[in-house]
Amino acid sequence: MSQQVSPETSAADGVNRRSVLAGLAGGVASMGLLAPSAAAAESAGRPVRDERVEALLKKMTLAEKIGQLQLVGDENTARAALADGRLGGVFSVVGAAKLNALQRLAVEGTRLKIPLIFGLDVIHGYTTNFPIPLAQGASFDPAVAAADATVSAKEARSSGIHWTYAPMMDVTHEPRWGRIAEGYGEDPYLATKLAVSKVRGYQGDDYGKPDRVAACAKHFVAYGGAEGGRDYNTVDVSLQRLHNLYLPPFKASVEAGVATVMASFNTISGVPAHGNGYVLHDVLKGRYGFGGFVVSDYTGIQELILHGLAGDGADAAAAALPAGVDMEMVSTTYAEFAQRLLDQRRITRDQIDDAVRRILLVKFRLGLFERPYADESAEVKAPSPAALAASRQAAARCMVLLKNDGPVLPLAKSVGSVAVVGPLGAATYDLNGTWSGLGTGAGTTPPVTVVDGIKAAAPGATVTYAAGCTVDGGDTSGFAAAQDAARAADVTVVVVGETAAMSGEAAARSTIDLPGVQQQLVAAIKETGKPFVVVLVNGRPLTIPYLHDNAPAVLEAWAPGVQGGHAIADVLFGAVNPGGKLPVSFPRAVGQIPIYYNHENTGRPADPANKYTSKYLDLESGPLYEFGHGLSYTTFRIDSLRLSDTRMPARGGRLQVSVRVANTGGRAGDEVVQLYLRDPVASIVQPVRRLRGFQRVTLAAGASTTVSFTLTPDDVGFYDNAAAFRVEPGKIEVYVGASSSATLTSSFTVV
């Protein structure tokens, strides 16, 4: 699907690469943001033809077909629908016995014995909770996402769950949006690598195997662009930004074989995703050739009425089915109105058959017709030692050392006494973060607290705890006890941040400061004059300039999961040298939002010496901590940047970029080598930098290695305002280093 452009034409032609924009103007209809045309419908992707599916389709009545399009979220509704044999799937019911009972009604009590598909939001763990996905993005290690998905899939499938509504791959520049916790941050390249790895972890090479589940790429698409960070809100996005920023993880996940896709709640340039034929039909099923099925989000089709796209339920169904939504979650517009719409020729039998065909194909590939029931005796109801070890390792790998003056960290295991202060120091379920505890056993296996983790890591130390305050309250009466604990200890670990409920769905925050009086608590501990470090437990970036200026050390632990306390202690005491990097920028103040590294330049870039440039009067330019930032207990040097050539052909070209990375400190550690590109002159203004490669390496003290990246035209190209992929001739700047502010640079030319 790549389109390369020729070198700039001569002046005699009257055209050059900058004049290309003149040919890209057009209205909404020309951009395909309306329902698909008949011609587009003919070219849309179709699932692979399966003889079993086709044979079953021929036996099905229209009512039975419509029934396959319905997904419900509770047992009673499921039983009522199954009485008429009209149900395709159930979600949010857990437990092998419960699911087997429902499955038995479908397989043994309906005419065609078509099994149900059982789904659940297995976001970062089923029985064993791993760090939240945003934390996994901070690992800069796709293997972390794969480990979570592999463990989660095995546990969930043992309980009868076939299908997870994950991974969420929404790129966002909006930290006020609570669902930033569920994704991988602000960069499409990083999100793509993590999302593809998680899809493969869930599905393996065959998601019909007893330890795998069908994955669901969500939310399609641009949900992360919600205005003001308010969940479910409007998204107004240009076609080039849609394809360059929001779509890349989905495209790659389709190429990786993701089984299903979920439509998003938001509008996309005025058209709600559930009725948007351009994104679902033309792009997903047409251009990408997606052969699985699209499921609505919770009542997403019914909500087309409130959006203003549909006047009633019949209108909503008439918009959603032709647009490409195959299965309806919770709301019942297909079940209620499909027959009438068919009679009125507002939908077609081919559209119904295509949706049913896609759903049945996934069910066959899951092996549900051969093995519809879960083995209740094999249900995983508690985390295994191996799963706990994997969660602990992942959590430590996701932590980011933001600051370490002195250095204060790591703490000595021989320390005599440690005070743990802060409302999250003894927290349990808040360490799991959003979307946790849904699986069998997950709600009865509390995470290890920070207090208990520190006691285990330093068994000879006296460890005391004082909460000081609650997470979001205003009571400071506990400050005195917290100060007393700090004065009596050799070092204090202050654990502050957010509760699990403060991020995730429907958890937007208008400010992203430390909630309540937690910042005042940190100030009170500072007043004691004793050494202290701050540990953050949170589901989003926070505005923490006070901590940056006043805390000797700040460790970003995110919501680390069921082994959170142990993992935090592993890092605090140096059993693990932190190597995570920020997958999202930390703003200085909420007024900077949106702030992100891969922004476009203005005609007047920020210049402190010039008032008439793009900046705030009352705030320093740039983030508090940039994308890719993260410290270590050792030091690294990245140098010897080399390019294999100075030219890359626009068609089929390949170019190697290599650097030498050396551990120049006194202990082993991890560094994430990051490669960024910039196209300084293009027909569509390009970001000042774009991540196009990263590699996390572990080096012993004094050791060095060479890290290499391969670039192709896909890395330098971009989508234009007609959604065409362009690779233009010209200079490309290369930056390699340890964050998005890397200064080691070279360049090559695309020819």
Q: Which residues are catalytic?
A: 297
422: Cα within 13 Å, side-chain hemisphere: 30
Q: How far is CA 54 from CA 48, 129, 291, 292, 695, in A?
A: 11, 40, 15, 15, 46
**Cβ neighbours around 595 below 10 Å, total:** 23
Q: Annotate 17-73 with DSSP letters as a single string.
A: GGGGGGG----TTTTT-SSPPHHHHHHS--PPP-HHHHHHHHH--HHHHHHHTEEES
For the chain, give the longest Cα–Cα distance: 82
Token pair, residue 130, equals 């791993």
Give the 3-state secondary structure of residue 334: helix
Beta strand ranges found along 508-618 (DSSP E): 532-537, 553-556
Compute the distance between CA of residue 367 and CA of residue 375 in angstroms, rounded to an integer. 14
Query: Helix (H, G, I), strand (E, B), or coil: what is residue 172?
Result: coil
Cα angle for residues 217, 504, 500 (degrees, 5° grid): 135
> Residue 311 gets which letter from DSSP?
S
Say how far residue 118 (Cα) sits from the centre of its chain. Answer: 23
CA distances to 234, 285, 306 from 329, in Å: 21, 20, 17
565, 585 contact by CB (below 8 A): no
Contact 670, 393 (CB under 8 A): no
Contact residues for 59 (Cβ-Cβ < 8 A; gap 6+): 112
Which amino acid type is present at position 502? Answer: M
User: Residues, the chain, total?
Assistant: 751
Residues 687 and 61: their CA atoms lie apart, in Å, by 53
Element (H, E) at 400: strand 400-404
Burial class (CB in 10 A: 0-12, 13-18, 19+), 344: exposed
C-alpha count within 13 angstroms, C-beta hemisphere, residue 430 = 20
Q: Cis omega (within 30 of 0) on the bond before 219?
A: yes
